[in-house]
A = this chain, B = another copy of it.
């Protein structure tokens, strides 16, 4: 018999199913063109069923999808510093090559979210600032350890590393023959005394 514990497990499973479906729908269509109805159909439940788990509707689903993904990536970088942090960026790129949907989701949403009226505008803006600050800090730590080439500014190096990562993702999504992780490592090495 399904007691309270069984009910809880079933509810958590259903929630995870809904998040997987929301992820797939957002990755394919972007946020604006997606609907709660379409996500509900993908799970095989009603719109009301989805809203039972995510009362905030479409924007609540988006937040939950993004927070889940970002938490995983930030877990890789947590407690790392300097060169070790930069190596973490390469590892994330390597992992992403197996997750085309994730890359496409971020690209689609971050493009839409440039519009200040977009519901995820603040989220994406804050996320990019957070990444830029963290990568700048890592390059500054490498400099303090004597590992940065002469004349390299940590902030400039950080922004260009992020720009290169974003641009390589676009080429890769479009079927160009680029190895995102190797190219990023190579690019970062251009700033370092000793290669990663």
Q: A residues bordering B, Cβ < 8 Å?
A: 28-30, 32-33, 104, 107-108, 110-112, 114-115, 124-125, 128, 132, 159-160, 162-168, 170-171, 173-176, 178, 183, 187, 190
Contacts and interface: CB of A to CB of B under 8 A. Distances in A.
A114 B107 contact: yes
B111 A107 contact: yes
Contact of A32 (B33, B160, B167): B33
A4 to B, nearest CB: 42
A127 to B, nearest CB: 10
A163 B173 contact: no
A166 B175 CA distance: 16
Contacts of A30: 30, 32-33, 111-112
Nearest to A33: B32
Interface of A is mostly: helix
Contacts of A164: 160, 163-164, 167
6 contacts: A28-B115, A29-B115, A110-B111, A111-B111, A160-B164, A163-B171
Given A32-B29, A104-B114, A170 B174 contact: no
Given A114-B174, A124-B174, 6 more contacts: A30-B33, A104-B115, A159-B178, A160-B187, A163-B166, A166-B170
Contact of A167 (B162, B174, B190): B162
A195 to B, nearest CB: 15
A111 B103 CA distance: 10
A102 B108 CA distance: 17
